[in-house]
Amino acid sequence: MPGGECCNCGRCGYVELHHVILRSQAPHMKKININLVQLCQECHRSAPNGVHHNKKLDLKLKQQLQTRLQTMFSNEFYSKEEIQTSLECNGEEIDLILKKLTLYSLGYNTEQLCRRLMGGRLF
């Protein structure tokens, strides 16, 4: 993608979209925009510094995503509609996300939601 800025090093120019939570870790996060970050080719794919080869950078991006999610979902419970609106996703995507979560009388529990969005674990 030309004309972007790398969220890691700040380099401007051609950037690639990176799934912070990999599709193999959470297929339901594949199309969720908050899970996508722009990285230059070096920060994305180059060894040994690229995120796919650098566990420290991968962890940093995961922790940033987790913080954004915890800020976005600061109450204890949320309705399906509130989650869908916040994540800007369609009906099929929200159903995949909520599929394995328990619906309580007050809504979906934020900690369980964040854990699900983070691929089953918190960082």
Task: Report the alpha-carbon distance of residue 110 to residue 115 in Å, rounded.
Answer: 8
Residues 6+ apart with CB under 8 A from 90: 84
Q: Determine the pLDDT at residue 71.
A: 97
The tokens for 66 are 């987790």
Domain that includes residue 63, residue range:
4-117
Q: Determine the pLDDT at residue 1.
A: 76
Q: Determine the pLDDT at residue 2.
A: 80
Q: Determine the pLDDT at residue 74.
A: 97
Q: Distances in Å between the alpha carbon of 63 and those of 31, 67, 78, 81, 93? A: 19, 6, 22, 25, 23
Map residue 18 onto helix, strand or coil: strand
- Give a yes or no: residue 77 inside a domain: yes
* Count of domains for the chain: 1
- Give a yes or no: residue 122 inside a domain: no
Residues 30-54: pLDDT tens digits?
A: 999 999 999 999 999 999 999 999 9
DSSP 8-class letter at 32: -
Q: Determine the pLDDT at residue 62.
A: 98
Task: Report the alpha-carbon distance of residue 86 to residue 101 in Å, rounded.
Answer: 17
Question: Whole-model pTM?
Answer: 0.93
Residues 67-107: pLDDT tens digits?
A: 999 999 999 999 999 999 999 999 999 999 999 999 999 99
Q: Determine the pLDDT at residue 114.
A: 98
